């Protein structure tokens, strides 16, 4: 997992299945971001191109679900990028969206194909909740920097 932040948006690059330590790191980093931006935060998750949809083990799933149900975080939204324009990628995004709706998480979670598609959705959700809104293009550039750093460390996005 590669993790960074641009203003009040946590950028998370997922590679492979999350384990307990990556779920805990996500939760802890989210708490730090919330302390810096009490008016609201958001997550931008990007699944690496070489990864299949993640499967969470039970402890990791519980950490993530508990975090998303914690209304004190003032989580305004979460967008996950599962890239690809083909039928398989679109079907996976649709199935993930359907499964997410069944969890009744109080955070609006969306699944899209590109970071460029994700940015306006996150900006809209942050603005709708009265949270600071990053300038256009900032999240795309921030994600590009996160990817460059991760690639230097041997991750492939």
Beta bridge partners of 9: 6, 42
The per-residue pLDDT for range 22-67, each reduced to its tens digit, is: 899 999 999 999 999 999 999 999 887 655 556 678 888 889 889 9
What residues make up the domain containing 119?
2-152
Asked if the structure places residue 85 within a domain, the reply is: yes
- Going by C-alpha positions, the residue among 45, 47, 43 that lies closest to residue 15 is 47
pLDDT at 82: 85
Task: State the average pLDDT over residues 4-26.
Answer: 88
pLDDT at 76: 92
Encode burial over 143-153: b for 16+ CB neighbours within 10 A, e otherwise.
beebbeebeee
Domain count, the chain: 1
Cα(44)–Cα(80) distance, integer angstroms: 6
Asked if the structure places residue 157 within a domain, the reply is: no
C-beta separation of 157 from 12 below 8 A? no
DSSP state for residue 107 in the 8-state scheme: S
Asked if the structure places residue 62 within a domain, the reply is: yes
Identify the burial level of 78 via C-beta atoms within 10 angstroms of its C-beta, where 0-12 means exposed, 13-18 middle and 19 or more buried: buried
Asked if the structure places residue 60 within a domain, the reply is: yes
Report pTM: 0.85
Asked if the structure places residue 130 within a domain, the reply is: yes
- Find the CATH number of the domain harbouring 85: 3.30.750.24
């Amino acid at each position: 997992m590669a993790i960074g932040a641009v203003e009040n948006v946590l950028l998370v690059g997922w590679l492979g299945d999350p384990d307990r330590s990556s779920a805990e790191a996500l939760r802890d980093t989210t708490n730090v971001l919330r302390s810096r931006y009490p008016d609201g935060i958001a997550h931008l998750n990007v699944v690496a191109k070489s990864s299949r949809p993640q499967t969470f083990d039970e402890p990791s799933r519980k950490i993530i679900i508990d975090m998303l149900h914690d209304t004190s975080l003032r989580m305004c939204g979460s967008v996950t990028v599962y890239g690809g324009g083909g039928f398989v990628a679109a079907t996976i995004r649709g199935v993930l969206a359907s499964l997410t709706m069944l969890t009744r998480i109080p955070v609006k979670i969306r699944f899209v194909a590109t970071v460029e598609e994700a940015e306006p959705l996150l900006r809209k959700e942050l603005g709708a909740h009265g949270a600071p809104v990053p300038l256009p293009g900032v999240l795309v550039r921030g994600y590009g920097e996160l990817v460059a750093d991760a690639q230097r460390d041997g991750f492939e996005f």
